[in-house]
Structure 1
Amino acid sequence: MAELPRDSIMGAVAMSPLRSGEHVLAEWPADPAAYWRSHAVMAALGGVIAGVVLVAIGNPSPWVGPVAAVLALGARGWYVASEALEARWRLTDQRLQGPGGREVPLARLRLARRFLGDVQVITHSGDKYLMKYLADGAAVVAAIDAAKAGLAK
């Protein structure tokens, strides 16, 4: 499998170049604080669920579940961090570009909304994209909505 081109500034997978007359309105890199906060929430919920399950089945050591959940999710977070934190999204006056070559023309965007701590973008054809680990999801939704409306220039 061929390796994707890397951007020299952020180390992230490079996005396609801007088209003639296209202007960048905003760019959102993954936020480390949002990434670790998300993992902390998953670890807490996973720990509670694991503890409840172990109590329900009569395990004599239900404390093992929460400890294992926190350790597992901490290890996962550490292992995946370098890749997840390279992600970035770019909004232009013509399209929304994301990691992995994702590209959606603004005319195809139906909805941008907050989804838990992230932003979900839905196209008119029903395709869904999840913009994860953003510092300010509400500002991202507002910028996408403004670009769709042609207000941000």
Structure 2
Amino acid sequence: MDTILDPGEEVLATFTGNMTTYIKEHVMLAAIGSVLAVALLMVLGNEHAWTGVVGAVAAIAVRGIYVASEQVGMTWTLTNRRVISPAEVPIPLSEIEKVRTIFSAAQIVTRSGDKYMLKYQTDPKETAATIEGAKR
């Protein structure tokens, strides 16, 4: 998708998800899911609580493989006037209230309360700082 810019608008940066970051985050999710699944099975008195690890890892792996290309292929564009989502939704810089990080994502919060996630960033703090810097 080629972003159409307004006259006088300049691209300052683009942000695309990173496959290595995507994999690392899914490994972390599988580990957390494994602990929670085993704990739940133990509380329920299941003699085979170890199966929680198998189930959690399998579920996260299947999901991760299934949506990897879709999630990592999303590109956000930052211009001197707005942030443009992969779906071409424009977010004017003047409407951005704050940008924060959550794990490997930078989250844009608008004045109206809308939230947008730039997922699987190699350096989400740098992504957030770049967007914040463009607001000035």
Scaled by the length of structure 1, the TM-score of the pair is: 0.85
**Counterpart of 1:19 in 2: which secondary structure?**
coil
Task: Tell me by how many angstroms 1:100 deviates.
Answer: 2.0
**Counterpart of 1:70 in 2: which secondary structure?**
helix
Task: Tell me by how many angstroms 1:15 deviates.
Answer: 4.6
Name which of 88, 110, 120 aligns with 1:123: 110
Any idea what the Cα deviations from partners look like across 1:116-139, whole Å, max 9, x if unmatched? 221110111111111101111111
Name which of 91, 111, 114 aligns with 2:98: 111
Say yes or no: does 1:100 pair with 2:87.
Answer: yes
**Counterpart of 2:27 in 1: which secondary structure?**
helix
Residue 15 and residue 121 in structure 1: after superposition, are their counterparts in 2 closer, same or farther (change >3 A)?
farther
Task: Tell me by how many angstroms 1:113 deviates.
Answer: 1.0
Residue 15 and residue 126 in structure 1: after superposition, are their counterparts in 2 closer, same or farther (change >3 A)?
farther
Q: What stretches of structure 2 of length at least 5 have no aligned partner?
A: none
Structure 1 ranges of 4+ moved more than 6 A: none
Query: In percent, how many aligned pairs have the same letter?
Result: 38
Matched length: 136
Q: What stretches of structure 1 of length at least 5 have no aligned partner?
A: 1-13
Any idea what the Cα deviations from partners look like across 1:90-123, whole Å, max 9, x if unmatched? 1000100112222201111110111222111011
